[in-house]
């Protein structure tokens, strides 16, 4: 009988459940958007119950779709994997199970003053050799310190040892496995590596860092590998193992099968994230990149990665739609941008919440430069696509500088890759080949692969050779390297104009 694997994909703007077959093709899926809360400028929150409820509904509706083929049974689903938006932090009470505050989303910058205070006292890279990360608004540790200092309910629960915290994977698993009635409080190494609390070498919570942030270890989840049977989740009358957990970017890394040292992928979603496989030892960047865990399958050696993160990618297109109203649907940006062969000298630095790698400027804010009376909305649309592509070049150059072995091609996935125009611009600006898989749900596929490996749907990494291996779309550079470099240099001038506004 055919075997299938399910994947919960809980993202920044939507939740999904997909079911894959053994070839990596998804045979059923369901997706729901949820509300984004912006109570103040720079603040981004989610209702924890929205995350849980949309996931539960997606599972139920996807199962209904799956069972429309009457040759299938729920028992054919051998495991479920979870992938989630990373760095987003939730806090709840272990006795009541109720959230103590809204989830603070990864892109939230309310902790800016707190970050500056910590940096002034201790420097930006005080724990970088331990956790691989600088002190930044991006990561979960500073969000938790802010909650303890500013949310009385969180402070009280922390003092009374009733506080539970975690990233989204932890919140989901705790509730799906019983909540106050024995729910598992766990996370995996990839999500833990994005908190600042985990030591990259021991894969355990670092007591020195916890003391620095004045956080009790008792409120943190137990760290597990990315692929093992953690528990079982009952769907109707069937117990299905939950057997894979990966942060969303690491899940795409696995879904793109970047299993060899030197391979890299770039995911174009709400933000944009490039991961570069550095093998079984942490590699510390000299060029502004992050050191992170790529994945750890059961008892196999840990695989590490360098990461470059862009805060705003697809969300800039939504900004054109929702805030400026120059497009009606996100896909319209491609039609509009294609009306002009260039941006007319316009550059859009989408630093809505500062700039991440390799700049790390939290004082940067968005700016559009080079505007003249000639500028039209199609120039703005094309400049929006180019903004992500330019930032990707900045990250790629940093990775090439760190590794000493320049990439010759880049694997890509995510919503923005549906645009042939955007991917051609990317190939042009990078000067290398860009490869897009035929089946682009690689984030969910990565979670499914982790779960399937744990239960034997795939026996080894070699078994994955035929998974999602249909012909890729390939985009090759069509402009000269001199032209690309000149445009990139102007982009860097525009980036400098974005500094110092916050």
List pLDDT tens digits, range 249-293: 999 999 999 999 888 899 998 888 899 999 999 989 888 899 999
> Which of 141, 143, 185, 142 lies closest to 162 in space, CA to CA?
185
Has residue 124 got a pLDDT over 80? no
Please, which pLDDT band fits residue 341 given cuts at 50, 70 and 90? very high
* Contact (CB, 8 A) for 292 and 193: yes
* Residues 387, 349 contacting (CB under 8 angstroms): yes
Structure tokens at 278: 């550095």
Nearest CA to 393 out of 291, 308, 476 is that of: 308
**27-36, 49-58, 171-180, 460-469: segment of lowest average pLDDT:** 460-469
pLDDT of residue 204: 97
Residue 134 has pLDDT above 80, yes or no: yes
Give the separation between CA 51 and CA 169, rounded to whole angstroms.
10
Give the pLDDT score at 392. Answer: 94
Rounded CA-CA distance 458/467 in Å is 10
**What tokens were used for 438?**
């035929």
Taking residues 205-214, what's their average pLDDT?
Answer: 94
Question: Which pair of tokens denotes residue 501?
Answer: 């506004």
CA separation for the pair 223, 187 (Å, rounded): 5
Instruction: Look up residue 205 and give its DSSP letter.
Output: B
Chain centre to alpha carbon of residue 94: 27
Of the pLDDT bands very low, low, confident and very high (cuts 50, 70, 90), residue 229 is: very high
| Paired tokens of 12 | 């920044």
Pairing state of beta strands 45-46 and 103-104?
antiparallel
Peptide linkage before 358 cis (omega within 30 of 0): yes
DSSP string, 400-433: HHHHSS--SEEEEESGGGG-HHHHHHHHHHHTSE
Q: What is the pLDDT of residue 470?
A: 74
What pLDDT does 330 receive? 85
For the record, the structure tokens of 58 come out as 């997606």
Q: Which superfamily does CATH assign the domain made up of 257-436+471-502 to?
A: ATPase, nucleotide binding domain (3.30.420.40)
**More confidently predicted of 152 and 310:** 152
pLDDT of residue 128: 84
- What is the sign, positive or negative, of the torsion defined by CA atoms of 45, 48, 52, 54? negative
The H or E element that residue 388 is part of is helix 377-403
What is the residue whose two structure tokens read 């429309």?
A: 68
E strand or H helix at 473: strand 473-475
Answer yes or no: is pLDDT of 444 > 90: yes
Please give the DSSP secondary-structure letter assigned to residue 321.
I
Q: Produce one character per residue of 393-407: b if its CB has 16 or more CB atoms within 10 Å, e if not.
A: bbbbbbbeebbeeeb
Whether the full predicted model's pTM is greater than 0.85, yes or no, is yes
Structure tokens of 395?
Answer: 């990250």
Looking at residue 322, what DSSP letter applies?
I
pLDDT given at position 406: 86
Name the pLDDT band for 131 (thresholds 50, 70, 90).
very high
According to the model, what pLDDT value does residue 414 have? 84
CATH number corresponding to 4-245: 3.30.420.40
Does 502 score more than 80 pLDDT?
no
Query: If we measure between CA atoms, which residue out of 249, 248, 246, 289 comes closest to residue 265?
Result: 249
Rounded CA gap, 253 and 306, in Å? Answer: 11
pLDDT at 120: 86
Q: Which of 140, 191, 194 is nearest to 170 (CA)?
A: 191
Burial class (CB in 10 A: 0-12, 13-18, 19+), 2: exposed
What is the SS3 assignment for 323-378? HHCCCCCCCHHHHHHCCCCCCCCCEEECCECEECCCCCECCCCCEEECCCCCCCHH
The residues with which 15 forms a beta bridge, in sequence order, are: 10, 32
Mean pLDDT across 109-126? 85
Q: Residue 33 — pLDDT band, cuts 50, 70, 90? A: very high
Predicted local confidence at residue 440, as pLDDT: 79
What's the rounded Cα separation, in Å, for the pair 107 and 84? 14
pLDDT above 90 for 431: yes
Q: Is the pLDDT of residue 125 over 80?
A: no
pLDDT of 315: 87
The span from the CA of 291 to the CA of 402, in Å, is 12
Q: What are the strands, taking DSSP E only, across 101-218? A: 103-104, 163-166, 186-188
**354 bridge partner residues:** 352
Give the pLDDT of residue 79.
Answer: 97
SS3 call for 37: strand
> Interior CA angle at 188 toward 61 and 292, to 5°?
120
Residue 309 has pLDDT above 90, yes or no: no
| pLDDT tier at 497, thresholds 50, 70, 90 | very high
SS3 category, 291: strand
Residue ranges, CATH 3.30.420.40, the chain: 4-245, 257-436+471-502
Scanning the structure block, which residue is given the tokens 């028992």? 75
Query: For residue 59, is pLDDT > 90?
Result: yes
Q: What is the mean pLDDT of the chain?
A: 92
CA atoms within 13 A on the CB side of 170: 30
pLDDT over 90 at 484, yes or no: yes
Per-residue pLDDT reduced to its tens digit, 144-180: 999 999 999 999 999 999 999 999 999 999 999 999 9
β-strand pairing of 238-247 with 77-84:
parallel
Separation of alpha carbons 303 and 297, rounded Å: 9
CA distance 190 to 174: 18
Q: Higher-confidence residue: 236 or 348?
A: 348
Percent of the chain with pLDDT over 90: 73
How far apart (Å, rounded) are the C-alpha atoms in residues 170 and 180? 14
């Amino acid at each position: 009988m055919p075997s299938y694997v399910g994947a919960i994909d809980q993202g920044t703007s939507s939740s999904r459940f997909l079911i894959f077959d053994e070839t990596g093709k998804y045979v059923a899926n369901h997706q729901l958007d949820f509300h984004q809360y912006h109570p103040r400028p720079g603040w981004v929150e989610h209702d924890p119950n929205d995350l849980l409820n949309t996931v539960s509904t997606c599972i139920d509706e996807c199962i209904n779709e799956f069972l429309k083929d009457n040759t299938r049974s729920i028992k054919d689903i051998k495991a479920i994997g979870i992938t989630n938006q990373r760095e987003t932090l939730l806090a709840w009470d272990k006795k009541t199970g109720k959230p103590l505050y809204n989830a603070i989303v990864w892109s939230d910058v309310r902790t800016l003053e707190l970050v500056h205070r910590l940096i002034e006292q201790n420097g930006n890279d005080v724990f970088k050799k331990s956790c691989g990360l600088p002190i930044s608004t991006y990561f979960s540790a500073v969000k938790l310190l802010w909650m303890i200092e500013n949310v009385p309910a969180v402070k009280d629960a922390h003092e009374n040892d009733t506080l539970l915290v975690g990233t989204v994977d932890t919140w989901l698993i705790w509730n799906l496995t019983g909540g106050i009635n024995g729910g598992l409080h766990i996370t995996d190494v990839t999500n833990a590596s994005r908190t600042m609390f985990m030591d990259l070498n021991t894969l355990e919570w670092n007591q020195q860092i916890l003391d620095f942030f004045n956080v009790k270890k008792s409120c943190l989840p137990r760290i597990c590998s990315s692929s093992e049977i953690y528990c079982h989740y009952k769907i109707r009358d069937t117990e299905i193992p939950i057997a894979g957990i990966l942060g969303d970017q690491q899940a795409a890394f696995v879904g793109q099968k970047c299993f060899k040292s030197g391979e890299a992928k770039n995911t174009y979603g709400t933000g944009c994230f490039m991961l570069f496989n550095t093998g079984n030892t942490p590699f510390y960047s000299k060029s502004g990149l992050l050191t992170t865990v790529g994945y750890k399958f059961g008892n196999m050696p840990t695989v590490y990665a360098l990461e470059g993160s862009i805060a705003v990618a697809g969300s800039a297109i939504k900004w054109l739609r929702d805030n400026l109203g120059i497009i009606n649907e996100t896909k319209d940006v491609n039609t509009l941008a294609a009306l002009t062969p260039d941006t007319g000298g316009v550059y859009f630095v989408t630093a809505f919440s500062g700039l991440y790698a390799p700049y790390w400027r939290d004082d940067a804010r968005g700016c559009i430069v080079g505007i003249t009376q000639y500028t039209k909305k199609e120039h703005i649309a094309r400049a929006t696509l180019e903004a992500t592509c330019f930032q990707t070049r900045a990250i790629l150059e940093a990775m090439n500088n760190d590794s000493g072995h320049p990439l010759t091609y880049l694997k890509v996935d995510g919503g923005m890759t549906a645009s042939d125009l955007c991917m051609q611009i990317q190939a042009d600006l990078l000067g290398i080949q860009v490869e897009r898989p035929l089946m682009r749900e690689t984030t969910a596929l990565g979670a499914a692969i982790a779960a399937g490996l744990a239960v034997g749907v795939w026996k080894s990494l070699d078994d994955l050779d035929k998974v999602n291996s249909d012909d890729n779309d390939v985009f090759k550079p069509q402009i000269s390297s001199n032209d690309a470099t000149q445009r990139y240099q102007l982009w860097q001038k525009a980036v400098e104009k974005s500094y110092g506004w916050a």
